[in-house]
Structure 1
Amino acid sequence: MAAIGQIIHFEDQQGERVAPRKGPTLRAQWLGKQLRELREAAKLTLREAGDHVQRDQAALSRWEQGLTPARVPDVLALLNLYGVDDPDVRDGLERLSRDIWQKGWWDDYAGETSGKVIDHAWLESRAETLRSFDVLVIPGLLQTAEYAEAVIRAADPEADPAYVARWVRFRMIRQQVLTREEPMRFAAILDEALLCRVVGGAPVMRTQLQHLVHLGARPNIAIRVLPFSAGAHASPRGPFMIFGMAVPYSDIAFTETRAGCIYVESDRVGNFAQAYDYLHKAALTPEESAALIAATADRMA
């Protein structure tokens, strides 16, 4: 399948401050793509599908492009028309269509930032697994509040204190995916340089490193360090994430560029998964990583 939206938004994943942008959300694009593929598999035209749900061809086209999200009754009617009997597929698409229209905690922030930041939080809330490789900043889901504040302030030195506090809160709420009743399984590979870059001063950094050791002891979190001794590695272009999604969705890979951020799925995720596997083999074990992180923290006392 093609990339979802190709370069679909401008976002500083670490600072998260951008001007709001209008346009189709990732959720709406995803639902539309699924509906289009099911219609094409059923060998029906837009007109034929539209007649079934009493909508014109243009309306169906907008749904499939993600420009206007389809409502739940229309989605269910289309699934019946397309002969979709698999309960996992039906439940997944119905849940997605409800998610688009229902308000989540992240929507309270939607008016202040790119909708794609909100989409990222939604993906985290729905992902069963997350694999990440980071080289510049410790990933947001593993940050302490003090470390997060230092990162956000560095990205926008002139930001109002209330703004900074609000986005630190946003990041802390996102972390609940790691402690919910059925927590996300998170496997993080951190370049050793992250341990040495003192963010927010030595006390803040020491506490952050100790926090990593604590998190790594949880059964659903594995933290590995890619040591300097590994030399050149499989991701010279930088960090990325792979979201493992439940049926009927394929995995999603996420990466940042200077021009914006990209989400890709299906076949193109394989390139990221292969790179992650190579990085995994080159990284220290979780036990070795915890020892290295703890030793680095001790040197910052």
Structure 2
Amino acid sequence: MSPLSRRAPRLPAPVPRGEIVLRAAGVSVTLGGTRIVSGVDFDVRAGEVLAILGPNGAGKSTLLGALAGDHAYGGSVELVGREVHDWPSRELALRRAVLRQNNSVSFPFPVVDIVKMGRAPWRAITSVEEDDRIIAEELLRSDTFRFAERTYTSLSGGERARVALARAMTQRTGLLLLDEPTAALDINYQEQVLAIARRTARQGSAVVVVLHDLAAAAAYSDRVLLLADGAMRAWGAPAEVLTPELLSEVYRHPVRVARDADGALAITPVRFPDDDAAPPAAHDPRSSERTTP
């Protein structure tokens, strides 16, 4: 056996639909001496989208960083049965792809070269033709093919976000971790990106996405994980977790939840009054006045 073959990574085995891809048990994260996340338990299965929700400072991005292997953590994070931090870096990159909030690139690389970086873990495993086919697919799917030769630094924030998504998608992994992928996008591309995430799950991957848009989470996810102050408040199907009582409490603002004409969950905040009166009080569980249409 040659030295090169001995160093070849173990290729990912397909995970059957419905089987657990990622399992978190008692996960805690401390950064700078401050406990940011504590006692989080959930799993994600092949074929499903899990949305991580919560107000600012709830620990959503920190938790995603632990799931990705970017942060040290307490407890356990298992990716296909093995602790995330035990995977060699290249083998980890073959099994999970990450779209982070910060996608800054300071050098004026062409867009196509940025997207190509997602194929780096597969170097010497797949052919150049296969890599080129996947890169073209993701450029088209993210609607970035038309400016593939432009420099990344010339793009708008929304265009850069779509390029970063295309780069993550080219890794072709069984787990896709997305940190606020719609934050810089207009409504058209927000819907496109979440449709891509759902389609990726339906094709057999597991997808974890951090979102602020509660209605979008209800529409595109199979399960949701609701965080508050670094702790897990609820985990389950959107209709079970996204209740007016719980959302009003967690977000400290009254929230209405109803069904629209298509039967989808419609989630809206109670608006502040136009005058200088005090803002509406948070939901009072003794009254449904502010949380029903």
Q: TM-score range by the shorter chain?
A: under 0.3
TM-score (norm 2): 0.25
TM-score (norm 1): 0.24
The structure in which a higher percent of residues are strand is 2
**Larger RCO, structure (CA 8 Å, separation 6 or more):** 1
